[in-house]
Amino acid sequence: MQEKNPWPTFTGRQQYYIDHDWFLELDEALPTHKEAPVLQEKSEYPLGYNTPHSRWSIHSTWRDSSKMLRLQRGEPTVYLNPDDAAERGIEDGDTVRVYNDLDSVEVQAKIYPSGEPGTARHYFSWERFQYPDRNNFNSLVPMYMKPTQLVQYPEDTGEHLRFIPNYWGPTGVNSDVRVEVELVESAADDADDETDGESGSVSGGALGRLSGVLGGDD
């Protein structure tokens, strides 16, 4: 009960068991662990990619505030472990391309000794207009339509489950995403004009574009 109203579930109580046909068929009537699909081969995309909440904004609010950007690098950054960066000939401040088979984003490399080797951390909620290609951190993250997210339960009212974007709907599965990072332009070379970079990016696939649209502002 909450404010004298029953929970908006099928039973009116906290309920984990969903006896909808599709849930039963997919063996998900109760919360179930399933192996993640392999999205990108580790051999091809050696770095685990994550997009944690940042300290410099509340989601995308104030993400482009000049005052806050002056306390950062003024543009989106990817945090790389020093060894990972060195292997790729990347130095702090260089412009790099973070990419996988979905898309490619161009950002500034920041060397982060506390980063776990084999990871690329790209703090989330940068605005699309902060990237040369108007894509963003989510462009590298696929979104799946799961059949169970299209279910209306109970079927007549949908009181328990129904499709609502960002609540019961497709979401980025960023913990499974892998990327590779490569040097675009070294910081020493672009001291004169940093805004004039050519991205050289591959065009975003359908999933990348979709994620860009839906996930632009988490």
Say which residue the tokens 């109203």 belong to. 5
Q: Does 134 bind another protein (CB under 8 A)?
A: yes
Q: Does 81 bind another protein (CB under 8 A)?
A: yes
Consecutive H or E run containing 83: helix 82-87
Nearer to another protein, 20 or 122 (CB): 122
Q: Does 194 bind another protein (CB under 8 A)?
A: yes
Q: What is the 3-state secondary structure (H, E, C) of 136-169?
A: CHHHHCCECCCHHHHCCECCCCCCCECCECCCEC
Q: Does 185 bind another protein (CB under 8 A)?
A: no
Taking the complex as a whole, the smallest distance from the CB of residue 81 to another protein amounts, in Å, to 6
Nearest residue to 216 (alpha-carbon basis) of 75, 63, 70 = 63
Taking the complex as a whole, the smallest distance from the CB of residue 120 to another protein amounts, in Å, to 14
Q: Does 102 bind another protein (CB under 8 A)?
A: no
Taking the complex as a whole, the smallest distance from the CB of residue 84 to another protein amounts, in Å, to 10
Residue 156 phi/psi, 5° resolution?
Answer: -80, -40
CB 131 within 8 A of CB 104: no
Nearer to another protein, 136 or 171 (CB): 136
Q: Which of residues 9-68 bind another protein (CB under 8 A)?
A: 55-56, 64, 66-68
Nearest residue to 72 (alpha-carbon basis) of 56, 57, 87 = 56
Q: Does 75 bind another protein (CB under 8 A)?
A: yes
Cβ of 177: how many Cβ atoms within 10 Å? 22
Q: Does 198 bind another protein (CB under 8 A)?
A: no
> Site residues (CB under 8 A) for another protein?
55-56, 64, 66-75, 79, 81-82, 93, 110-117, 127, 129-132, 134, 187, 191-195
